[in-house]
Structure 1
Amino acid sequence: MSLEQLKKLNDEMIDGLCSFFKGANILIEKDTEIVTIYAYLLLQATGIERLQKIVFILKYFSETKNIPNENILKKLGHRIDKIHVNHLLEHFSDTEKIYFETALKLLTEIVNVKDGYRYVNFNFQDSKSFMVQQQVVKILEPIKLEFDITNILDLTKLSWNILDLILKKYTAILIDLIIKKEIGNGEISIISCVQQLSPKKYLFMNLNLEIEKIINNYKN
């Protein structure tokens, strides 16, 4: 990999990922009224897509000793749920995959222009409308198979916090693959802001236990 290619890859990791994920963290920490949830989802989806594609590039280079060309990268598309299933699934345990796949599908449906709902409110020819809060609660579909979610004070806030937890672990797993050089061979220079996105508390946490804690916090 040339010096220019390395610089571009590292710039994408630093300038893109750090800003997108940090921005999402600020929104969920500061927003008590759920007015910025759509911006949070856009930041998460964009950051995750970039991270997925960085991992794909590193894997491709490791296997072929070539950088994927523009056509190969374009074929990946923008559906982060499909990028995950087609190229990254092997790096995730079966026990938690339903949570990751549900979260990524939810994000894709909300922010994907072609297949999702981003501009549905501009269609004045039908009665459809889009409320992001109604979409976020879809994260509870696999959750309610394992946990009792009756008597919840605020399903939207519960859903947002569970989704955030799942996405933090997903991000931590991908970044840890790069840090440990299980993907790539040290092409990415790991700086503090990248390390902060992959703390051990997210990397090794038991999602079921943490989800149960969140549910209990929101019960009457």
Structure 2
Amino acid sequence: MRQETILLVDDEREIVNLMDIYFCNEGYRLLKAFDGQEALEYLKEEKVDLIIMDVMMPKMDGIEACMKIREEQNMPIIMLSAKNSDMDKILGLSIGADDYVGKPFNPLELVARAKSQLRRYHKFNKDTQPRMNDNELIFEDLVIDILKHEVCVDGRKVRLTPREFSILELLARHQGQVLSMEQIYRNIWNEPFLDGGSTVMVHIRNIREKIELDPKQPRYVQTVWGIGYKLDGPS
């Protein structure tokens, strides 16, 4: 079985060396980079299952690096930052990150979040064959391929992050049913809801921008005001 590889990108070498101990003790292979440009070079040569990346770094910061990575790859990305305001978190999530951890952090919490992201990512990228007729969910011109972890709209392939794909699949499997923000958050993040509403809204907005012809008048992901969201059933 291939050892899972995590790329940790942070210019604070003490943090990188500390987390190297924690992740190696958990059986992961850790690659270390100290700026965004170095991280991109690693990705040209290495198969990486998860990226943990600081926002503030020299040469190329985490925001720019995350945007460049999302142009080509969809592995989970956890952003690290000493800035803990809601706007900073929303920015990180809106450019393609799947999770956001504020500094200083508990190393055990970061390991737990990494494990959660990896479980979810591999769940939706399994090579095993799905049940008959369960590998594709088709809603008019929207096709969700569970086996390939791909989404097509009007024949055009759309690149979603693992978290965005999970939300869309959740809505698709409950087509026509309204799911509250709390239901979505608990199912996808596996955490207490608390203040997760803004996080869900950011991801829904990102999904709409990618699959809807007019995100302001969505055809697929519908808002039911005061309740939550639903995906309209196939025609």
Q: Which TM-score band applies after superposition, normalised by the shorter structure?
A: under 0.3
Report the TM-score, using the length of structure 1 for normalisation.
0.27
Report the TM-score, using the length of structure 2 for normalisation.
0.26
Which is strand-richer, 1 or 2?
Answer: 2
Which is helix-richer, 1 or 2?
Answer: 1
